Amino acid sequence: MDISFAGKRALVTGAGKGIGRATALALARCGAKVTAVTRTQADLNSLVQECASITPVCVDLADWGATEAALQDVGPIDLLVNNAAFASLQPFLEVTPNQFDQSFNVNVKAVLHVSQIVGRGMKARGAGGSIVSVSSQASQCALRDHAVYCVTKAALDMLTKVMALELGPHQIRVNSVNPTVVMTDMGRLGWSDPEKAKTMTSRIPLGRFAEVEDVVNSILFLLSDKSNMTNGVTLPVDGGFLAC
């Protein structure tokens, strides 16, 4: 299945590393004009070195005002990928208010905010659009030491559905991908211990973690017109983890 994004303008958050970086590069390869948003300038420098057509925007998405300012001149966007997230693991009884606020600011509030900025433009232009948020299997299954992360992703799934409901009449589709573990920096944080990893892979029918490309391919599908009638879904990319 060939997917082309020629003539489309895309914005990817958390594009400095991991899934977001690979998504930004894949979108550019498929012909999109990509704006990459992240908070570490060195990552943006290396990204632009790798793909000169990408427009970099450096901002901490946890900061509402700074995000508003950074994105005000971003121009029309057809495709949005809400990928940036914060994960900090601890037992439920040790969760701090700071960890709670930081997680919700990036994983939920920034998604709402960036989607508002982009969605308003999509609605005003009347040409529709597609928004994909990167959620997690953790939105639907309790994971030890992941209390706050799980709750942010559960909130993100519901935000996806409400956005799909309200933006659908403007031909703006909103969906999420919900991956199992991927061995990025974030994945290594929770799952680099082989014993712990085995407890997870043993619960995945396909018996392995996802690759970055697995997630990117599902994001591209949901962004593209190949999924034109798909709206408000939370698509597992989990080898069957959530099915059992």
The residue from 8, 149, 198, 226 that is catalytic is 149
Shortest Å distance, C-beta 21 to ligand NDP: 7
Binding letters toward ligand NDP, positions 33-52, x by CB under 6 A = -----xxx--x---------
149 is catalytic: yes
Spatial contact of 217 and 181, defined as CB atoms under 8 Å apart = no
**91 secondary structure, DSSP code:** -
- The backbone torsions φ and ψ at residue 193, rounded to the nearest 5 degrees and listed phi first, read -70, 120
Assigned token pair, 167: 């933006």
Shortest Å distance, C-beta 184 to ligand NDP: 3
Q: What's the rounded Cα separation, in Å, for the pair 22 and 30? A: 12
Our finding on whether 11 is near ligand NDP (CB under 6 A) is no
Nearer to ligand NDP, 213 or 225 (CB): 213
The residue from 33, 153, 196, 198 that is catalytic is 153
Stretch that binds ligand NDP, among 1-9, 28-36, 55-63, 227-235 (CB under 6 A): 55-63
Which residue from 192, 111, 193, 195 is spatially nearest to 155, judged by alpha carbons?
Answer: 111
Our finding on whether 86 is near ligand NDP (CB under 6 A) is yes
**Contact residues for 139 (Cβ-Cβ < 8 A; gap 6+):** 150, 153, 154, 156, 157, 178, 234
Binding letters toward ligand NDP, positions 167-186, x by CB under 6 A = ------------x-xx-xxx
- The backbone torsions φ and ψ at residue 138, rounded to the nearest 5 degrees and listed phi first, read -65, -10
Residue nearest to ligand NDP (CB): 18
Our finding on whether 84 is near ligand NDP (CB under 6 A) is yes
Assigned token pair, 4: 């082309």
Binding letters toward ligand NDP, positions 135-174, x by CB under 6 A = -x--------------------------------------
Helices (H), the chain: 18-29, 41-50, 64-71, 97-104, 110-125, 147-167, 185-191, 194-201, 212-223
Our finding on whether 68 is near ligand NDP (CB under 6 A) is no
Q: Which residues are catalytic?
A: 149, 153
Q: Which residues make up the interface to ligand NDP (CB under 6 A)?
A: 14, 16-20, 38-40, 43, 60-62, 83-86, 106, 134, 136, 179, 181-182, 184-187
